A and B are shown apart, each in its own frame.
Chain A
Amino acid sequence: MKLVKNAAGRLVPTEVNGEIVIPYKGVNKHKPTGNKIGAPIKSCADYPLDGNKVVKNLREALKKAGLKNGMTISTHHHLRNGDVLTNILFDTIKSMGVKNIRWYPSASFPVHEHLIQYLNDGTIHHIEGSMNGPLGRYTTEGKMKGVGVLRSHGGRYQSIQDGEVHVDIAVIATPTADPFGNATGDRGKSACGLLGFALADSEYADNVIVVTDNLIPFPCSPWQIQGNNVDYVVELESLGDPSKIVSGTTEVTKSPDRLLIAEYVAQFLEISGILKDGFSFQAGAGGTNLAFALFLKEKMIEKNIKARFIRGGSTKYLVQMLEEGLTDYILDGQTFDLEGVRSMRENDGHLNTSPFTSYNFHGKGNFASQIDAVVLGATEVDLNFNANVVTHSDGYLLHGIGGWQNCMFGKTVILAIPSFRDRIPVIVDEVTTLVAPGELVDVIVTERGIAINPKRKDLLKAVKGSNLPIKTIKEIYNEVNEICGGKPAKPKVNKEEVVAIIKWVDGTVLDSVFKVEK
């Protein structure tokens, strides 16, 4: 495989799975021209006039959609680790004797370990999406036939819209749908909240199959997926395990160290002046992030400050802030617990967003860049503030990118991370895999101190003289190495063999993941 050095100095291929790819050129440097692609024109004359698109099962729907070898099949991760549908889907594809599928999920979860057999037997050729847990291990050990492609949620929308990925068949899990294909995720026994990840596929795929375990008479209202984009509707007994689709309740971390990090983040926002009336922030559903939102909430009440909007994986904590009047809006990107789902149904201020509205880089702006403060995690950060979220320091793929890369365009990007986990340093000299260029990362908050990117002179000035534990990233790095017993060794990888590539938000190739040598 021929590799070139991209603008970030990382070795990347120029051809992947038989297609030409463009090496990363720098932040905001790649601006393709031309038109977006379009879905095929179809005629309503070919669809049932009574609006009933229900077919008897998934196999029938796939057959009607013209499933054949080498096609691209997309699925979505709003059922999270409770997703049974995707596993049934590939059982069906296997039983139909179809091979070499490009699986194009918006993310994968440990439940999809079931699919390893289909990667082994050639039913699935490769994955473009995320390779979490067991699939990550499988990919990193070089067992997948093709090369994995990892994209952000925004990058996934961009890749479909720009025609980089042509989706032949989209299979969309919908907790409630009508026979016409209108569908929503905010109700039904498998309710998951938002279906935003499936938006691009519903708009652009050649064939769209909606699968539900709660078929109701037309019209399904509200609809998140528009029936006019849908070819077939399939009813199943169950889409998955509700207890793993959304948590009954999300819980804040109890770890004193993570609480300390969360407290520092909230203090930082206060002292730097970012916390002010009408501000906005993004908080994920990780334990540290939830805790940060709670500490911030205390400060907002104390100082009588109200946010204009909070973007996030919605949870009961954000819902409480909405219902207590501490924010005008929640911009929901993914719904994590039952309270989030309820709020989506009941609150006018709970808005459904999508990767198109929030993240798409090839659009006329997006929401992510308008957020005052974004708080994210990371697996590694290096001395140049470059950050990694997909591999661990042992070289193995473990996580997807999610909206993480897209959020890097927020006004102040804060990575809230422990400086080391057990004996694994998180602050390192050079990231194992580059997933976000350091120029976009503004602040690192660890339990050992806060490091501000030297290019953010404004922030450095704002916190000067405060009692925040401000350090340089090098100081934290040295401290961690001292605790862990020296600089960690790097994984042994085969630099000839790329097992996956990391796309930047604009579709260029930011880095490669290499096969780990045992």
Chain B
Amino acid sequence: MEKSIAGQKGDKVRSDCYIEITSKRLGGIKLDIKSKVEVMYGESIKTTILEMCDFFELKHAEILVEDYGALPSTLMARFELAVKRLNPKIEKEFLPTFNKKNKYKTSKDKLRRSRLYLPGNEPKFYPNAGLHKPDGIILDLEDSVAPTEKDAAQLIVRNSLRAIDFYGSERMVRINQFPQGLDDLKYIVPHNVHVILIPKVETAEQIIQVEEKVNELKLASKIKDDIFFMPIIESALGVINAYSIATASKYNCALAIGLEDYTADIGTQRTNEGKESFYARASLVNAAKAAGIQAIDTVFSDVNDMEGLRDSVIEAKGLGFEGKGCIHPRQIQVVHDAFAPTQIEIEKAQKIVIAFEEAKAKGIGVVSIGSKMIDAPVVKRAHNTIKLAKLNGLI
């Protein structure tokens, strides 16, 4: 007789469940369901579990389900985990229906001002995350997941990519460090992940490894859409190699910096002033821009300090960063507002665009405003400024 468990239990657990399977030689399936939503969804839970027993050819077992209002995709992930922990040889996957609202694509130069980190083993945060309108939602398989629950998070993230509506936010996943990170890929690549965040990157080789594995998985599951990478630089070596990392793959859309690990690596501590990381951040911005991709700043970790967040975004914008990590939905609007162009920037951008259009209409090659010459990158930046201004409802 063997037993496996999965999920979470306790008074504080919400939108999750706890599963215990004890395998038996005989006696068929004995199901014991205790659910907070017994009246509304007791039958539905029972049907799902029995269907999954059938799918995984589980014939004789005692099954305990303690349910705290887990959504169907969570229930399925937890039960699949319990089955697979009981029998690690099982490879087939029980996939929830792919939500048709999740079929949208992304592009390499999409706005990435805000990206909201959600812990990979806490499905309760998922269904409403997109309502707060971050540019991207990151389901995190790395630091926010306990080492013993990596397998749990893989299934939760896979099922959530399929079933949970992201409401148009870019669909991101942060994988683990290698080799675990390479194993993570098969749970996300076939399920319309848009951007893979690769942590603690120090060499171009790591990006190439990810690209190869992703290509292999894309081929196997007939995925045609581009999947982009956002390497996260979190060490002194990574900073030195930033440019070669940034240019390692055409699928790189941005470089991000992670300062907690970086400051530890150089043997100091993070300060609000940030002198200790100035070199790293400036280097990263420079490397990203040289490679023609976005530069994305670290997270701001004090969720109660909105003024501090605003200042930090304005400072980051000044350095050339185009995005900031968020760990709480209330930070999103503040980040968007702070990245919004100022009135002066908007007016200047409008002048540039008008001057450029006029010059083009007249067939003049060289555009200038007053004594200043305007070249193509300036026009592109002006267009971006106007796009941002429109997004923020400023024009």
A449, closest chain B residue (CB): B131
Interchain CB contact under 8 A, A486 and B44: yes
Contacts of A448 in B (CB 8 A): 131
Interface size of A by Cβ–Cβ distance < 8 Å?
A: 24
A 389-423 to B, binary, CB cutoff 8 A, 1 in contact else 0: 00001110000000000000000000000000111
Interchain CB contact under 8 A, B71 and A393: no
Q: B60 on the interface (CB 8 Å rule)?
A: no
Interchain CB contact under 8 A, B393 and A467: yes
CA distance A72 to B15 in the complex (A): 44
Q: Which of A425, A483, A490 has the most CB of B within 10 A?
A: A483
Interchain CB contact under 8 A, A424 and B132: no
Q: B3 on the interface (CB 8 Å rule)?
A: no
Given A256-B330, A467-B393, A486-B44, A424-B131 contact (CB < 8 Å): no
Interchain CB contact under 8 A, A424 and B15: no
Contacts of B36 in A (CB 8 A): 422-424
CA distance A302 to B15 in the complex (A): 39
The residues in B between 11 and 51 inclusive whose CB is less than 8 angstroms from any CB of A are: 14-15, 36-44
B 141-171 to A, binary, CB cutoff 8 A, 1 in contact else 0: 0000000000000000000000001000000
Q: A489 on the interface (CB 8 Å rule)?
A: yes
Q: Which of A256, A395, A423, A488 has the most CB of B within 10 A?
A: A423
Interchain CB contact under 8 A, B393 and A260: no
A448, closest chain B residue (CB): B131
The residues in B between 323 and 341 inclusive whose CB is less than 8 angstroms from any CB of A are: 328-330
CA distance A423 to B13 in the complex (A): 13
CA distance A410 to B282 in the complex (A): 58
Interchain CB contact under 8 A, A483 and B165: yes
B73, closest chain A residue (CB): A485
Shortest Cβ gap from B388 to chain A (Å): 17
Interchain CB contact under 8 A, B39 and A423: no
B 42-86 to A, binary, CB cutoff 8 A, 1 in contact else 0: 111000000000000000000000001111100000000000000
Contacts of B44 in A (CB 8 A): 485-486, 489
Interchain CB contact under 8 A, A489 and B43: yes
Q: A188 on the interface (CB 8 Å rule)?
A: no
Interchain CB contact under 8 A, A260 and B69: no
Q: Which of A486, A490, A492 has the most CB of B within 10 A?
A: A486
5 further contact pairs, Cβ within 8 A, besides A447-B128, A447-B131 = A256-B132, A257-B329, A422-B69, A423-B40, A485-B41
Q: Jot down 28 A-B pairs with beta carbons below 8 A, ordered by A.
A: A257-B131, A259-B330, A260-B131, A394-B37, A394-B38, A394-B39, A394-B40, A422-B15, A422-B37, A423-B36, A423-B37, A423-B41, A423-B69, A423-B70, A423-B71, A424-B37, A424-B69, A447-B128, A447-B131, A484-B71, A485-B41, A485-B71, A485-B72, A488-B39, A488-B41, A489-B41, A489-B44, A490-B39
Interface residues of B (CB under 8 A from A): 14-15, 36-44, 68-72, 124, 127-128, 131-132, 165, 328-330, 393
